[in-house]
Amino acid sequence: MEYQPKVIGFLCNWCSYAGADMAGTSRMDYPQNIRIIRVPCSGRVDPLFVVKCFQRGADGVLVSGCHPGDCHYTEGNYHTRRRFALLREFLDYLGIAKERLRVEWVSASEGQKFAELVSDFTSELAKLGPRSKI
């Protein structure tokens, strides 16, 4: 059976999750590899969650929020930006390829963007192969 990457997606309730919903209602196709977890804000996503995902077998993690400047809680995604700029680099340093952690800004009307980005992410992960388990 062909390798199917396991992708965990943390989507902010107000923008990205709504965007994903829109992709669904518009019948846009995107790979089923992604498992979505709804959070109030991308700023809710603790680096702890991301590392735990990788530890438990995720091949890729997506963190998606409102566009900077449009955060439903005004500032949350500014913190997301800083946090994950550092974490991506750190995880790559520790041997978890940078490409496996994606941070994207998807608004509620960007269903197409969401579908495309999941598709792109999944095929990139398929090429990278499974994350080596301990």
Partner 1 sequence: MELIQQIRDKARKLLEEGAVEGIIGYEQASDGLTSRPLFAYDPSATERLIFDETCAHNLVKYLLDKKGKKMAVVVKPCDSRAINLLLNEGQIERDKVFIIGVGCPGMVETNWNHKSETLQAKCRSCQLSKPLVYDFLAGREIERQAEEETYSDITEAEAGSVATRREFWLEQFGRCIRCYACRQVCPGCYCPVCFAERLEPLWVGIRIAPEENEMWQTIRSFHLAGRCIGCNECERVCPVDIPLSLLNRKLEKDVKGLFAFQAGLDPEEPPPFATFKKEEKLEFGE
When asked if residue 27 is in the footprint of partner 1 (CB under 8 A), the reply is no
Among 13, 31, 72, 90, binds partner 1 (CB under 8 A): 90
The two tokens of residue 53 are 């995902």
Calculate the alpha carbon distances from 7 to 10, 50, 75, 76, 101 in Å.
10, 11, 27, 23, 10
Among 87, 106, 108, 117, binds partner 1 (CB under 8 A): 87
When asked if residue 94 is in the footprint of partner 1 (CB under 8 A), the reply is yes
Strand order in the sheet with 101-105: 34-39, 7-12, 60-65, 101-105
- Binding residues (CB under 8 A) for partner 1: these are 47-48, 51-52, 55, 67-69, 75, 78-79, 81-97, 103, 105, 132, 134
